[in-house]
Amino acid sequence: MPEVVIVGAGITGLTCAAELRGHAGVTVVERVPVTGGVHGWEATETREQTAASGARLLLGATAVRWDGERLLAMDQDGAHLLPASVLVIATGTRPLGRAELGIAGPRPAGIVAATVAVHLAENGLLVGRRPLVMGGGDWAHRAANELLEAGAERVTMACPDGVLAGYAEQGEDLDHLRKIHGARPVRVGGQPRVQYVELSNGDVQACDALVLAHGVVPLRNVDGAVWDGPRTVYAQPAADPATVAGARTAGSEAARAVRSLLESA
Partner 1 sequence: MRDVVVIGGGVVGCAVAWRLSTTGASVTLVEAAHDLCEGASKGNTGITTSGADCRPGTLEAELVRRSSPGWEALCARLDTPFHRIGTLAVAVTEDEEARLPALLEEARATGAPAEIVSGDAARELEPLVTPQARAALHFPEDGIIDSIRLTLGYAELAARNGVEVLRSSPVTAIERAGDRITALRAGPRRIQARAVVNAAGLGAGRISELAGGDPFTMWPRQGQYWLLDRELGVRFRKVVGGVPTETTRGIYCVPTTNRSLLLGPTAVDHSDPTDRAVDAETLEEVFEAARRLVPAVRREYAIKTFAANRPASEPVYRVGPDGRIANLVHAAAIRSTGVSSSPAVAELVRSALEQLGLPVGEERPGSLTALEPLPRLLGHPRPEQLVARDPRYGQVICACEQVTAAEIAAAHRMAVPPTSLDGVRKRTRATGGRCQGALCLSGVSFLHSIEAGRRPEQVAVSEPAATLGVPTDA
Q: Which chain residues interact with partner 1 by CB under 8 A?
A: 31, 62-64, 72, 74-79, 94-95, 97-100, 102, 104-110, 112-113, 115-116, 119-120, 123-129, 150-151, 186, 191-193, 208-209, 219-221, 223, 226-227
Least distance in angstroms from the C-beta of 37 to partner 1: 13
Least distance in angstroms from the C-beta of 175 to partner 1: 19
- Collapsing DSSP states into helix, strand and coil, what is residue 1? coil
Q: Which is nearer to partner 1, 111 or 244 (CB)?
A: 111
Q: What DSSP string runs through 136-175?
A: SSHHHHHHHHHHHHTT-S-EEEEETT---TTSSSTTTT-T
Q: Which is nearer to partner 1, 158 or 255 (CB)?
A: 158
Q: Which is nearer to partner 1, 20 or 57 (CB)?
A: 57
Pick the closest to residue 131 from 116, 111, 160 (CA basis). Answer: 111
Give the strand order in the sheet containing 185-189. Answer: 185-189, 196-199, 204-206
Q: Which is nearer to partner 1, 63 or 235 (CB)?
A: 63
Q: Which is nearer to partner 1, 194 or 233 (CB)?
A: 194
d(CA 217, CA 162): 18
138-149 and 114-122 helices cross at what angle (nearest 10)?
30
Least distance in angstroms from the C-beta of 117 to partner 1: 9
Least distance in angstroms from the C-beta of 160 to partner 1: 16
44-53 and 11-19 helices cross at what angle (nearest 10)?
30
Least distance in angstroms from the C-beta of 152 to partner 1: 9
